[in-house]
Amino acid sequence: MLSLSVLRSTVVLTMYELISPSSSAWVQHAGGLGRLLEARGPHRHQAAEERMLLEAARPLILGKAAAEGKRCFLERSEWVTVPWELEPGGKPHFEKLFDIGCPIPGLVEDRKTLSVQKQRLASATAKNNLQPQPDLNDAYHSVASALAARCEQCMHQIRAWKNEWDMQNKVYELLTIPSVPWAASDYPYAELGLPLAFSDLKRASDYSQYNTLLCFFLTIAYEVHYEASTASTDILSNAINESLILKPGLATPRTDHDYLLKQRYHCAIEICRSVPYHNLPGPDQRVSGAYSIMFPLIAAQPVVAPGGEVFRYIEGVFPRCKSFADLKALQIMSPGVRVIALPYVQHA
């Protein structure tokens, strides 16, 4: 049951179900895949094929765990180090980015706990004629502070990853995109600016997945601030207020709601600007590119204005991207082109 052939079949089946037009069975298969990997242990994924399958499985397992809001074994230190210890060239850059995303299910779990603590605090305060509730206030403060600190750590890690990536890669702007007629005709230049181009599809995938993760972290950061500003407690301590979000190049930290939302919107725009490149002609480029950009588009759509030009652009291109991401994506997907399959956590 723990054999390589079983692992291989389970990964392929889960990926196929993920891109199936009307199937949610991938969630169940991802659960089984996670249990299989955990039972095998990290040391059994140091050989080339086993490690490749682990790298393919991590986004699937993460997606399920995040959807359920439950911490995942993949964030444990042994699972982010041991499988790559024998890799001659070290861990691939994208896998380092994925390491930063592994705590996401735990962040979702903490976010849910924070809401529960807020409800308890509000209920107890109301029942006691608005009298302070020190114990509940401390519990709420503890959860919020821990969540803010974890989010801060992830934000610094992902920006450090991007700084290193920028030293090795360059993002270009395309003046025209004639080779992708449907993407060119619908592309909202006024809202998005010029579309982006990259040296290859791996770099494009890196960039879109980076913006997907950053968009998620910004959402959690915003929600922590929103919860705190509407709770009957002084939760915004200096430690949270001054260090949660740091804009590169600014001497003064920024944590206000508008700033967080603007940064999140910027991530969504950058994802949309990379859509044409992901869909350039060619069996490998178009199929793998479409598969790679699907989940960033899912993350971007709730961020942009409903009914606006960018929103309609996403509505138009997503079905076309999905139509390319069929079983062929499993057969000819470029090595190193990966996706982060995350549910988008939107502020209620």
- State pLDDT tens for residues 65-104: 988 889 999 999 999 999 999 988 889 888 999 999 999 9
The band of 335, judged by pLDDT with boundaries at 50, 70 and 90, is very low
pLDDT of residue 303: 92
Segment 188-210 shows an average pLDDT of: 91
pTM score > 0.75 for this model?
Answer: yes
Segment 149-156 shows an average pLDDT of: 88
pLDDT of residue 177: 58
Output the average pLDDT for the chain. 79
E-state strands within the chain: 172-173, 196-197
Segment 333-343 shows an average pLDDT of: 46
Rounded to whole angstroms, how far apart are CA atoms 149 and 248? 18
pLDDT digits over 10-48, tens only? 887 787 777 665 567 778 888 889 999 999 999 999 998
Residues with Cβ within 8 Å of residue 106, at least 6 apart in sequence: 71, 72, 75, 150
pLDDT of residue 176: 62
Segment 3-14 shows an average pLDDT of: 84
Rounded to whole angstroms, how far apart are CA atoms 73 and 102? 9
Rounded to whole angstroms, how far apart are CA atoms 154 and 203? 21
Pick the most confident of 13-22, 45-54, 170-179, 288-297: 45-54
Rounded to whole angstroms, how far apart are CA atoms 254 and 264? 14
Over 50: is that where the pLDDT of 252 sits? no
Over 90: is that where the pLDDT of 140 sits? no
Segment 251-276 shows an average pLDDT of: 80
Alpha-carbon distance values, 329 to 148, 204, 288 (Å): 38, 16, 6
The band of 134, judged by pLDDT with boundaries at 50, 70 and 90, is confident
Pick the most confident of 70-74, 286-290, 335-339, 342-346: 70-74
Alpha-carbon distance values, 137 to 128, 141, 241 (Å): 14, 6, 18
Question: With DSSP H G I counted as helix, E B as strand and the rest as coil, what are the percentages for the chain, rounded to 5?
Answer: 70, 0, 30
